[in-house]
Amino acid sequence: MKKIGFIGMGNMAKAMALGFIRSGKMSGDDMGAFAPNQEKLMKNAAEVGFKSYADIESLIDDYDVILMACKPYQIENVLAQQTSKGVVRDLLAGKVLLSVAITWDLAKYAPLVDPSTRVQYILPNTPAQVCEGVFIVEKDNTLTAEEAQWLEDLLSACGTVVTMPAHLIGAGSAVSGCGPAFAAMMLEAMADAAVKLGVQRADSYKLAAQMVVGTGKLMLETGQHPGVMKDAVCSPGGTTIRGVVALERAGMRAAFMDAVEAASGK
């Protein structure tokens, strides 16, 4: 079993670590992390169970798989950082480098790391924490066949894996990566409406959340087109079709399309 060292331990990295443990594929002992904010790092380490590191060079020394989880604008500086054992980019030679920072694909890393560093670009989402995540992986990578299979097995245990060419990952992640925020806004709004109509807040959230979980699972397991699923709930002159008309009048579809396009950076 391979072990993973995280450079950065923000919300996404924490969600992945928790998902890896929940899946049964890894334990806290299989993971370590370094982050500049040592107080926050140690708090997360106590909560999740991974080992915290005070310096980046010791982390890289101890792990053959490094997951780069810092902010995109920080990565060049991290790679160029001088440590007591050398420059970070040189310390990564011969290791697997998993990148979860948006836009940091294989082509972007290639001129900045040693040729022996094997790179895979991944864009996860926060539901990975409960093993219901989506992991978009770049089609082009430099992993060995054995490493690629290990990664596929690990990520598949935490959700759905979709392979895409680099130029489509921004659009894909606008749905899967940014989508949890859009879905949470929708859930909150629907629950607020139910509260307005007299339903208890906790029940409102439970109804809305399970509705989304169930609808998604139904679509994935049956392969039904979403339009067919919508039609199945809309009886002539019924309550659902009246709600659908209200959403159409409010421009719901266009709003979601605009949100995905804006999030994609296009």
For residue 115, tell me if it sits in a domain: yes
The residue to which tokens 């107080």 are assigned: 39
User: For residue 72, how far is the Cα from the chain centroid?
Assistant: 15
**Does residue 153 lie within any of the structural domains?**
yes
- For residues 186 and 76, membership in a common domain is answered with no
- With respect to residue 171, please indicate whether it lies within any of the assigned structural domains: no
Q: What is the model's pLDDT at position 117?
A: 97
Structural domain includes residue 220: yes
Query: Is 213 found in the same domain as 114?
Result: no
Domain of 188 in residue numbering reads as 179-264
Average pLDDT rounded to a whole number, residues 199-207: 97
pLDDT value at position 1?
67
Give residue-wise pLDDT tens across range 212-263.
Answer: 999 999 999 999 999 999 999 999 999 999 999 999 999 999 999 999 999 9
Residues 86 and 160 in one domain: yes
Claim to verify: residue 210 and residue 157 sit in the same structural domain: no
Strands in the chain per DSSP E: 4-7, 31-34, 51-53, 65-68, 82-83, 86-87, 96-99, 118-123, 133-138, 159-164
What tens digit of pLDDT does each residue of 6-17 get? 999 999 999 999
- Structural domain includes residue 169: no
Of 131, 164, 197, which residue constitutes the final position of a domain?
164
- pLDDT of the residue at 265: 81
Indicate whether 159 and 184 sit together in one domain.
no
CATH of the domain at 128: 3.40.50.720
Q: Does residue 243 share a domain with residue 115?
A: no
Same domain, 157 and 196: no
Q: pLDDT by residue (tens digit) across 84-93?
A: 999 999 999 9
Same domain membership, residue 199 and residue 126: no
- pLDDT score, position 227: 96
pTM of the full structure: 0.92
Looking at 140, 164, 188, the residue that finishes a domain is 164
The pLDDT value recorded for residue 208 is 97
Is the pLDDT at 266 greater than 80? The verdict is no
pLDDT above 70 for 107: yes
| Pair 113, 194 in one domain | no
Q: What is the CATH number of the domain that holds 249?
A: 1.10.3730.10
Domain count, the chain: 2
Instruction: Say if residue 160 is in the same domain as residue 199.
Output: no
Residue 118 lies in a domain: yes
How distant is the alpha carbon of residue 222 from its chain centre?
Answer: 25
Residues 158 and 197 in one domain: no
pLDDT beyond 70 at 112: yes
**Residue 95 falls inside a structural domain:** yes
Buried b (16+ CB within 10 A) or exposed e, 213-252: eeeeeeeeeeeeeeeeeeeeeeeeeeeeeeebeeeeeeee
pLDDT 10s digits, 124-175 = 999 999 999 999 999 999 999 999 999 999 999 999 999 999 999 999 999 9
Among 164, 196, 211, residue at a domain's last position:
164
146, 68: one domain: yes
